C-alpha cells in the first residue's frame, strides 16, 4: 500500500512538473497544486499510519512473545500438575490395595476371634461340666470316706469284741 502511494505521488509530481512547463491556465495550475497538496497530506497521513502500524506490529510481536512465554509456563505447570495427579492416582491405587489387604486381614482376625470365642465358650462349658463332675466326685469321695470311717469304727468295735471274746475264750479254756 505504501508503495502504491509513493508511486502515485511520484507519478502525480511528474505530471505536475510536466504540466507546469506547459502553458496551461492558472486554474489548472491551482488544481494541480491543490491535488499535489492533497497528495502530500495523504502521503503524510499514510506515513503516520504506517509508523503506527509498525508500532502496533512491534507491540503485537512483543505481546505474542509474552503470550508464547506465558503459554510455555502454563504448559509446564500443567505438565507438573499432571505428574502430581499421576503420583496421587498411583498413591490412591496403592492405598486402595493396602486397604483391601487390611480388610482381608480384619476379616481373617474377626473369623479367628469368632472361633476363639466359640472355643472359649466350649472350654467354659467343659470347665463347668468338669467342675460339676469334680463336685459330684468330691461328694462321692466324702460319702465313701464317711463310710470307710464308719466301717473302720465298726471294724474296731468288731476287733474289740473279737479280742474280748478271745480273752473270754482263753479264760474259759484256762479254767
Model confidence pLDDT, tens digit, residues 110-159: 999 999 999 999 999 999 999 999 999 999 999 999 999 999 999 999 99
- What's the whole-number average pLDDT of the chain? 89
- Entry pTM: 0.43
**Cα gap 62→52, rounded to integer Å:** 15
68-101: pLDDT as tens digits: 999 999 999 999 999 999 999 999 999 999 999 9
Q: What is the pLDDT of residue 7?
A: 66
C-alpha to C-alpha distance for 1 and 59, rounded to whole angstroms: 21
Break the chain into its structural domains and give their ranges. Answer: 2-174
Amino acid at each position: 500500500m505504501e508503495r502504491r502511494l509513493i508511486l502515485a505521488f511520484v507519478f502525480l509530481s511528474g505530471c505536475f512538473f510536466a504540466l507546469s512547463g506547459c502553458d496551461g491556465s492558472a486554474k489548472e495550475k491551482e488544481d494541480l497544486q491543490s491535488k499535489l497538496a492533497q497528495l502530500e497530506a495523504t502521503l503524510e497521513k499514510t506515513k503516520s499510519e504506517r509508523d503506527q502500524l509498525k508500532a502496533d506490529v512491534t507491540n503485537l510481536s512483543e505481546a505474542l512473545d509474552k503470550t508464547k512465554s506465558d503459554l510455555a509456563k502454563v504448559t509446564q505447570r500443567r505438565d507438573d500438575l499432571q505428574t502430581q495427579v499421576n503420583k496421587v492416582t498411583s498413591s490412591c491405587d496403592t492405598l486402595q490395595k493396602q486397604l483391601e489387604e487390611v480388610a482381608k486381614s480384619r476379616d481373617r482376625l474377626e473369623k479367628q476371634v469368632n472361633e476363639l470365642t466359640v472355643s472359649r465358650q466350649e472350654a467354659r462349658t467343659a470347665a463347668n461340666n468338669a467342675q460339676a463332675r469334680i463336685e459330684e466326685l468330691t461328694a462321692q469321695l466324702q460319702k465313701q470316706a464317711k463310710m470307710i470311717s464308719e466301717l473302720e469304727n465298726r471294724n474296731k468295735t468288731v476287733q474289740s469284741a473279737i479280742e474280748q471274746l478271745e480273752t473270754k475264750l482263753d479264760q474259759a479254756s484256762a479254767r
